[in-house]
Structure 1
Amino acid sequence: MTTVSASTTVSASTAVSASTAAAAIRHHYDVGNAFYRLWLDPSLTYSCALPAGPDDTLEAAQERKIDYHVDAVGGARVRSVLDVGCGWGAVLRRLAHGHGVSRIVGLTLSDAQAAHLDAERPPGVEVHTLDWRDYTPAEPFDGIISIGAFEHFARPEDTPAEKIDRYREFFARARDWLRPDGALSLQTIAYANMSREQASAFIQQEIFPAADLPTLAEIAAAAEGVLETRLVRNDRLDYAWTCEQWARRLREHRAEATELVGPDVVARYERYLRQSALGFRMGKICLYRLVFRPYPRTYFGSGT
């Protein structure tokens, strides 16, 4: 596995945006790998799981979620996959060890996550500490998976039109990075029965600064004419369950967590997990799992 730093020449506006996104990601994810190990599952999967029922284990539910996304982009037939926002590499490892994918590329903006992956060295995996806007693949992929990164693409100061433009740029790049029969499996939190102005200032400022959630309408507008939307599902109760599992684990390891990061950080994360679980339960926010495909390049009767 190779870990690569950004060296691409980009426009000033893109560079500022990427720098802001990277700083925001590091604010949250570089608290320390040891801290997250206390309350995430052993794979360090930090996104909504896919529980089979209320008594499921977090470990099984996270593995099921990853397999869901792999199946969404083609399952056993895929040989090359890009993971945009790869975290600590749970999807990358599952692709390498569980599905035998030969070409696996992960993108992250977190130095701590990249260092964790560099130490593990999964077979056939490349990890780039790079914003997706600065990435250019050498050849197309069979599938693209992006879990929990889309929430960081837009900024709080963006207008709805600017947000749609940012999402549309991502969808256009995904289309160009996919083979004609490829697929993008996307998982993102989104606003539901709540506007940006009604969102928690605590989470916006202290947990995920410089980030803003999409709405389903914004996602649909951004994808229109770029990628065909094949599936949309709202699994908000899955994320309520996941946050509750994380909160319980953090409470159980509160003393150890406090030694690692201090009482203020622990209290902040406990508050954030409680608020998030409640938001998903109430339908204020939701969890979308979406599948997109490039539009067909030939049409019946077109002669092309």
Structure 2
Amino acid sequence: MNAPTAQRAAGAISHHYDVGNEFFALWLDESLTYSCALRKTEDDSLEEAQEHKLAYHLDAIGAAGAGSVLDIGCGWGSILQRLTETHHVPRAVGLTLSRRQAEFIASREYPGAEVLRESWTDYEPESRFDGIVSIGAFEHFALPDDPPAEKIRVYRHFFRRCRDWLAPGGVLSLQTIAYANMSRQDASEFMQRDIFPDADLPTFAEITAAAEGLFELRSMHNGRLDYAWTCGQWAKRLRARRDEAVALVGPDVVARYERYLKLSALGFRMGKIGLLRLVLAPYGDGHFTR
């Protein structure tokens, strides 16, 4: 990812995530977790399902015994909060390109947490991490006009950096939306223009090609039906507080998000797009790299 690409990514992040913390708080769960939840039972509330998802990633990296953890694309800090307040991790670093998210996390003053408004392409840590979590950021790494080879190159750069940042025994827990039974040409113009401009989804094949020789895939789960349910829950909550949302951001923005949530739920339910949860461990010395 070069400088112009990083600048476009920052602009795209701001376009979507800097609409306003108060707006998102109307329809997200209490932790402001803006990514696919993980249901364990049909009776789970959104709050419970989001806690299950956060615990999944924290367990995957061994947060309970970690001394330092990096969260790439940290959102409003739900992972950072649990790292520092629940698992008492001494050093928890979050990267975000959203000004509003960074300000929100800083205001919470989580003990041992540091939030940086910085891209993973520019970040240079002073020491390695025992684990890395990245939820809902991978979708923003490539541009819509990037050919597959360029996308794989960008993704491989990300995996190389993560491998170099991990301490021995460290693990990367990655969650991303991915194209499934749909080509890029069939992607919604509305989504690419009005919701996530200058962003493109990966395919599972592109992810594995980029990670080949760098990371071992320990586990993979497709949670697309969980995401269809999550989008439905968000839409229901937004509908219940629509008047407040309109007062905050105006009717056009609210209508745009309502359409986005409806189309997203449909895409996941139909299998057009998937939700990948990947646990990856770096290969040790002696394994090939290309």
1:5 corresponding residue in structure 2: none
**Aligned partner (choices 166, 177, 181) of residue 189 of structure 1:** 177
Q: How does 1:79-90 map to 2 (within 5 A)?
A: 79-90=67-78
Q: Which residue of 2 aligns with 1:234?
A: 222
- Written as runs of structure 1 = structure 2, the 5 A alignment for 1:29-48 is 29-48=17-36
In structure 2, distance between residues paired with 1:102 and 1:180: 18
Q: Which amino acid in structure 1 is aligned with residue 133 of structure 2?
A: I
Is 1:109 paired with 2:97?
A: yes
Between the aligned partners of 2:160 and 2:286, the Cα distance in structure 1 is 19
Query: Alignment partner for residue 278 of structure 2, among 290, 295, 304?
Result: 290
**What's the CA shift for 1:55?**
2.2
Whether the 8 Å CA contact 2:63–2:89 is kept in 1: the answer is no
The AA in structure 1 aligned to 2:243 is A
1:281 maps to 269
Identity %: 64
Shift in Å, 1:298: 6.1
Structure 1, unaligned runs of 5 or more: 1-12, 300-304
2:235 maps to 1:247: yes
Q: Distance in 1 between matches of 2:158 and 2:59?
A: 22
The code of the aligned residue for 1:25 comes to I
Give deviations 1:86-138, integer Å, cap 9, x for gaps.
00000000111111111100000000001111111111001110000000111
Q: Which amino acid aligns with 2:77?
A: G
CA displacement, residues 183-214 of structure 1 (integer Å, 9 cap, x when unaligned): 00000000000011001110111000000000
Offset, 1:17? 1.2
The alignment's C-alpha RMSD in Å is 1.0
Aligned partner of 2:147 in structure 1 is 159
1:20 paired with 2:8, answer yes
- Among 93, 97, 101, the residue aligned to 2:85: 97
Contact 1:54–1:241 (Cα < 8 Å) also in 2: no
**How does the TM-score come out when normalised to structure 2?**
0.97
Q: Secondary structure at the match of 1:213?
A: coil
Query: Which residue type is aligned with residue 208 of structure 2?
Result: A
Q: How far apart, in 2, do the equivalents of 1:218 and 1:107 lie?
A: 24
TM-score w.r.t. length of structure 1: 0.93
Matched, 1:261 2:249: yes
The question of whether the paired residues in 2 share the 8 Å contact of 1:47 and 1:148 is answered with yes
How far the C-alpha of 1:15 sits from its partner, in A, is 1.5
Q: Specify the alignment match of 2:190 in structure 1.
A: 202
Unaligned runs of 5+ in 2: none
Q: Is the 2:63–2:131 Cα contact (8 Å) retained in structure 1? A: no
Aligned residue number for residue 56 of structure 1: 44
Displaced runs of 4+ in structure 1, greater than 3 A?
A: none
C-alpha separation in 2, matches of 1:241 and 1:22? 29
- The residue aligned with 1:121 is 109
Distance in 2, matches of 1:218 and 1:18, equals 20
CA distance in 1, matches of 2:231, 2:42: 13
Distance 2:258 2:82 in 1: 29
For residues 177 and 235 of structure 1, what CA distance do their matches in structure 2 show?
Answer: 28
SS in 2 for 1:105: strand
Contact map agreement 1:81 1:104 (CA 8 A) in 2: yes
Rounded to whole Å, the distance in 2 between the matches of 1:208 and 1:45 is 18
Aligned 8 A contact 1:80 1:103 in 2 = yes
